[in-house]
Amino acid sequence: MKRVALLVQYDGYHYSGWQKQKNATTVQEILESALFKITNHTVKTFAAGRTDAGVHASGQVVHFDIDSVIPGFSYSNILNNLLPSTIRILESVEVKNSWHACYSAVYRHYRYVINNGKFPNLFINNWSWHRYQKVLDEVLMLRASKTMKGEHDFFAFQKSGSNRRNSVTKIKNIDIKRVEDLIFVDIKATGFLYGMVRLIVGQLVLVGEKKISSDIFIDRWVNKKKNDVKESAPAKGLCFVNAVYEENVFKKVNNNDFFPLFLINGFS
């Protein structure tokens, strides 16, 4: 048996998330169906992060074990010929059997895109949240967000239905910047709770619109006031950018492959 790692992009608009579900079309289901066509055997896949329905991925990492003479680097081309255009394999490589897409990851990187302009943008509508009622103060949003850096209990930013044993995780870095009408919220953490990023962004938008103060934002998550955290940003603005490992197993890609720079620089 060999272990193969995949670097995967997908348009989450078309899927009910990564993980297989009954009566729903998911990325894992489509990918495993393609692998079955190659091997005529059931192949189980494991991902670095379980994205929710409607959430995109520019650099999702997946691995699977397979008994095949096909070299690891060939699976990207083979799978791309079987997959729909909404799922692309950027690269495939053979890795050590001890390497795991989820458990070997040092941290994950999510990005949320807000279109704060007066008018919707047809070209990015499915990849951003058009929040236009007020001009957002990204400086206030950034100032409030920095209090979350480090290891904390983020119970207030966890949606119901999570099967995690606890709600403690470590945020390595948060960055918020505006490029014309677009606001980019980048969060890097060792792990993410169910619905965590969307709940954080929903609260930060309230800070940016000056509907709540930074002190109220901080009080809500520090004191686990989950019932006060009602606003959640829509899924379509969220993207799983990539997962980072101690050793870079993918050699052919660069940062622009993960999240196209034109989306950022095109508004500058």
Give me the active site residues, please: 52
Residues 65, 70: Cα–Cα separation, whole Å: 12
C-alpha–C-alpha distance, residues 89 and 165, integer Å: 33
Residue whose tokens read 């002190």: 215
Concatenating the DSSP letter of every residue in 57-112 gives EEEEEEEEEE--SS-GGGHHHHHHTTS-TTEEEEEEEEE-TT--TTTTEEEEEEEE
**Three-state secondary structure call for residue 260:** coil
Q: What values do phi and psi take at 246, rounded to 5?
A: -60, -40
Q: DSSP assignment, residue 210?
A: T
CB-based contact 135:218 (threshold 8 Å): no
Residue type (1 letter), 28 = Q
Strands 56-66 and 238-245: parallel
234: three-class secondary structure by DSSP: coil
